[in-house]
Chains A and B, each alone.
Chain A
Amino acid sequence: MSGGVDSAVAAARAVEAGHDVVGVHLALSRMPGTLRTGSRGCCTIEDSNDAWRACDRLGIPFYVWDFSERFKADVVDDFVAEYAAGRTPNPCMRCNERIKFAALLEKALALGFDAVCTGHYAKVVRDAAGNPELHRAADWAKDQSYVLGVLTREQLEHCLFPLADTPSKAEVRAEAERRGLSVAKKPDSHDICFISDGDTRGWLADKIEMTPGDILDETGQKVGEHGGANAFTVGQRRGLRLGRPAPDGKPRFVLEVRPKDNTVVVGPEQLLAVDEIRGIRISWAGAPLAEAASGEEFACTAQVRAHGDALPARARVVHREGAQGHEGADDGELVVTLDEPLRGVAPGQTVVLYQGTRVLGQATIDSARSLARPSL
C-alpha cells in the first residue's frame, strides 16, 4: 500500500471479498522524506501514515517492510547502469518484476500469505485449463497491464488486482470517499519515485560520469555539443541546445545515443520512424503461445510505452542454438515487425505484446530500425 487511493480501495475490496488481508507499505528508501510534496516522490512518512490510516479504517493490521536494499540493487542501480549504457529503462516495470511481485511476494508466501494484492488496473483471468492470463483493465484509460507485462506465470499465480473491472478512476475515488478513506482526494503520483524533483538528467549527472561530446547529424556532421551522452533518450527533442538550425528549419530529435564514442545523433522526425523492433530477455505472461516455441510468426499488437497505443504487428521468436531460459522466460530474440512505422523507440524500453485484451509477454528492446532505410 503506497498510501494512495488505488491500493487503499484495492485493500478494502479484498477485505470485503472475505480475504484475510494485512496492509504492507514498502520502505524503498533508507532516507524517506517527511512530507509529500506535490505529486512527485513517494515513500514519505506521510505516505506511510496514509496507508496506515487506511488500514485502521479497514480494521486490518499494517506493517512496513523494508526492501530498500533490494530496491537499490535491482531498480535504482539498474536504472543508472542502463542509462550509462545508452539505454532508456523503465524503473516502474523493473520494480514490479523484481520487488512487488518477487521480493515482496516471496516474503509474503513464506509468511503464509497466498497472494500480493495491489491497486493496479489490470486483470488476471484463467483459461479453460486454469492457467492464469493477464488482461487489460476495464478502464483502458487507466489500464496498467503494460507495466505488469513483465510478470511470469509463477508471479501471476499469486496476484490479486481488485480494481480490474472498475469503470473509471473517478469511481475509485468515489468509493474511497464512501468508505471514509482519507486518501480519496489524494493526487495521483507521477514520474519516477526515487527522483523526487522529477529532474532525471540532474539526478543522473551525480551518478554517471558525464563527459562533454559531440552531437552529430544523420550524415555524421557535427552540429553541436552535449554535456554527456548518457542523459539523452531516443526521440528527445528538448534540451539539445543546437547552435545552428537544421537546413529545413524543422526541429531535430535524438535518433541514437552512442555511449561508446560519447556521441548523440540527431535528425529530422521522419528518421525516428522504425518498423522492426528486436527484443531480448523475453518473458511470457502465463502460458506462452505455441508459436513462441516453434518460432512461427504470429499476429499481435505491440506497445512500447506505458501510455502508448498498441499497434498491429507480427512477431516471432528467433531461438538461439543451445540457449535456454527458465520456465516463463526465454533466451531467444523477439523480432516484432510493425504494420505501420512508429517513432521514438529507445533501446532499454519494453515492448509488450497483446492479442486483444490479453498480454502475451514482453521483451526488452535491444535495437530498432526501419526496414526501408539503411542504418545510420
Chain B
Amino acid sequence: MVSVYLDHAATTPVTPHALAAFTQQAAQGGNPSSLHAAGQRARRALEDARESLAATLGAHPSEVVFTSGGTEADNLAVKGLYWARRDTDQGRRRILCSSVEHHAVMDTVEWLERHEGAEAVWLPCDAAGITDVEAVRAELERDPESVALITVMWANNEVGTLQPVAEIAALAAEHGVPMHSDAVQAFGHVPVDFASSGLATMAVSGHKVGAPVGVGALVVRRDATVTPVQHGGGQQRGLRSGTLDAAGAAAFAAAAADAVGRLGEEAPRLAALRDRLVEGVLAAVPDARLSGPADPALRLPGIAHFTFPGCEGDSLLFLLDMMGVEASTGSACTAGVPRPSHVLLSMGLSETEARGAQRFSLGWSSGEDDVEGLVNVIGSAFRQARQAGMAGHESVIRTASTR
C-alpha cells in the first residue's frame, strides 16, 4: 500500500543534513559547559549552531535560548514575561491572548490565571481565524498600564492562517507592552525576521523544519526581561538552566539553514502543491469547506484544512489511514478524547461543523504523488465517513428500549 504522509505540521521527517549534523555531534559527545578540550569542542559546535540559527531567525546569537521544543519556549516566554512584568508593577496582570493559540500558550495563560493572579483577555478572530487588530487596540487603550503582555501566534497550527503579528507588535510598542509570538509553524515556511518583528520573544521548534524532536528555541530580545521557569546551573544567561544539547542544536541549525535558505523556491512549490490539493479535494468532495482566509497568501503554504459536513473527523482519519493516507483532525486530543477544536469554534463554527475537521499538511519531502494519493481516495473516504456519520450522536440500530 502506498504511504502518503500529509501530517508535516505534526512533525516533518528529519532531513539527511540535520541527521548527519546530529549524529556527528552526538558521536563526538562532551558537555558544552565543561572546561576541558572535549567540553570546548562541544561548546564550539553549540555556539556555531546558535550563530547559524540566529542568522536564519534574524536575531543576535545571544538572543537565542535553546529549549527542548516549542512548548517549553512558549512556557518560558509567557510565564517569564508575565512574572517579570507583574513583579515590577503588581497592577500589570492582563494577558491579551489570541483565541486561536496553540495549547502550549493557551493552557499556560489559563494556568497563570488559576495560580498567579493573571487575567486573560481572549482576543476575537474573524471567520478566517485572523485576530482582530482593533480588539487589541481597544484592549490596550482601555487600560494600558494593566497589560502584562500580548501573545499572538505567527501562523495557526490547525488552519494555517497567518496572523497580523507586525501590526499588533506595533500597537504593543506604542504602549510599551512586550509581545510574544509562537512562530513554531511559521519559521522555515514563511519569512520570519525577529529583528524587524517588534516582538519581545518568539518560540520556534526544530522538528517542524526537519530536525529531530527535542530541540527548540526561544528568541529573547536583548532588552526583554524574562523570569526563568527552570532553575539549575545557570546556562544560557540563567534563562534556561540545563545541560546544553549540542547535537540537537547542531541538527536544528542545519535544518533551519536549509529551510530558510530554500524558502524562496520551497514556499511557492508547496503553495502550488497545496492549491492543487485544495482543488482536488473540492472537486472530489464539493461539500467540503476550506478553512481559513480565501487569499492563499494569508495562509501557510503547507497547510490545507477542511471541514467535511456530516463526518466525524476521526472516522475520516481512520478511513484515510486504512487507505494509506496519514492526516490529522488538527486539534489536540490530550485527554485521549477528541474535542472540537477551540480554533474552529473561535472562527464561529458550530461544534457539529468542527467535528468534521481534517488537516492535510505538506513539507519538504512532499511531492505530487502525495497530493494525487489523497485526491484519489478522499471521495470514497468522505462518503463512507458520512455514512458512519454521527454515530456518536444518534443510533439507527433499534434496541430493547427503542420504541
Using a CB–CB cutoff of 8 Å, the interface residues on chain A facing chain B are 25, 27, 29-32, 45, 48, 61, 63-70, 94, 97-98, 101-107, 110-112, 150-152, 154-155, 281-283, 325-329, 331, 362, 364
The A-contacting residues of B in range 349-403, CB under 8 angstroms, are 384-385, 387-389, 391-393, 395-403
A64 CA / B333 CA spacing, docked (Å): 10
B91 → chain A closest CB, angstroms: 35
Q: Are A152 and B400 in contact (CB under 8 A)?
A: yes
Q: List 8 A-B contacts (CB under 8 A).
A: A45-B336, A70-B392, A97-B400, A106-B396, A112-B322, A151-B399, A152-B398, A326-B398
A281 touching B401 in the complex, CB below 8 Å, given contacts A66-B314, A69-B393, A98-B395? yes
Which of B338, B397, B400 is the most central at the interface, judged by chain A CB atoms within 10 Å of its CB?
Answer: B400
Whether B315 is near chain A, meaning CB under 8 Å from some CB there, is yes
Q: Which 6 A-B pairs have the closest CB atoms?
A: A110-B388, A107-B391, A283-B400, A27-B337, A110-B387, A102-B397
Whether B335 is near chain A, meaning CB under 8 Å from some CB there, is yes
Q: Are A111 and B318 in contact (CB under 8 A)?
A: yes
A362 CA / B339 CA spacing, docked (Å): 36
Q: Are B399 and A66 in contact (CB under 8 A)?
A: no
Of B337, B389, B403, which one neighbours A331 at CB under 8 angstroms? B403
- Total number of B residues with any Cβ neighbor in A under 8 Å: 29
Q: Mark B315-353, 1 if CB is under 8 A from A, else 0.
A: 100110110000000000101111100000000000000
Q: Are B392 and A67 in contact (CB under 8 A)?
A: yes
Chain A residue contacts of B385, Cβ below 8 A = 111
A154 touching B398 in the complex, CB below 8 Å, given contacts A65-B314, A66-B337? yes
A96 → chain B closest CB, angstroms: 9
A155 touching B397 in the complex, CB below 8 Å, given contacts A106-B391, A331-B403? yes
A101 CA / B400 CA spacing, docked (Å): 11
Chain B residue contacts of A155, Cβ below 8 A = 397, 399
Q: Are B318 and A325 in contact (CB under 8 A)?
A: no
Q: Are B336 and A281 in contact (CB under 8 A)?
A: no
Chain A residue contacts of B318, Cβ below 8 A = 63, 111
Using a CB–CB cutoff of 8 Å, the interface residues on chain B facing chain A are 314-315, 318-319, 321-322, 333, 335-339, 384-385, 387-389, 391-393, 395-403
In this complex, what residue of A is CB-closest to B389?
A110
Chain B residue contacts of A32, Cβ below 8 A = 335-337
Q: Are A27 and B314 in contact (CB under 8 A)?
A: no
Q: Are A150 and B389 in contact (CB under 8 A)?
A: no
Chain B residue contacts of A150, Cβ below 8 A = 399-400
Q: Are A64 and B397 in contact (CB under 8 A)?
A: no
A46 CA / B398 CA spacing, docked (Å): 33
Chain A residue contacts of B392, Cβ below 8 A = 65-67, 69-70, 103, 107
Chain B residue contacts of A154, Cβ below 8 A = 397-398
Q: Are B399 and A97 in contact (CB under 8 A)?
A: yes
Chain A residue contacts of B384, Cβ below 8 A = 110-112
In this complex, what residue of B is CB-closest to A361?
B400
Q: Are B321 and A111 in contact (CB under 8 A)?
A: no
In this complex, what residue of A is CB-closest to B337?
A27
Chain A residue contacts of B337, Cβ below 8 A = 27, 29-30, 32, 64, 66, 68
Chain B residue contacts of A94, Cβ below 8 A = 401
Which of A94, A104, A107 is the most central at the interface, judged by chain B CB atoms within 10 Å of its CB?
Answer: A107
A64 touching B315 in the complex, CB below 8 Å, given contacts A70-B392, A102-B397, A329-B400? no
Q: Are B388 and A111 in contact (CB under 8 A)?
A: yes
A97 CA / B392 CA spacing, docked (Å): 14
A64 touching B336 in the complex, CB below 8 Å, given contacts A111-B319, A283-B400? yes
A61 touching B321 in the complex, CB below 8 Å, given contacts A150-B399, A328-B398? yes
Chain A residue contacts of B333, Cβ below 8 A = 64
Chain A residue contacts of B321, Cβ below 8 A = 61
A70 CA / B393 CA spacing, docked (Å): 6
A45 CA / B335 CA spacing, docked (Å): 7
A293 → chain B closest CB, angstroms: 17
A212 CA / B339 CA spacing, docked (Å): 40
Of B336, B389, B391, which one neighbours A27 at CB under 8 angstroms? B336
Q: Are B315 and A105 in contact (CB under 8 A)?
A: no
Chain A residue contacts of B389, Cβ below 8 A = 110
A103 touching B395 in the complex, CB below 8 Å, given contacts A27-B337, A110-B384? yes
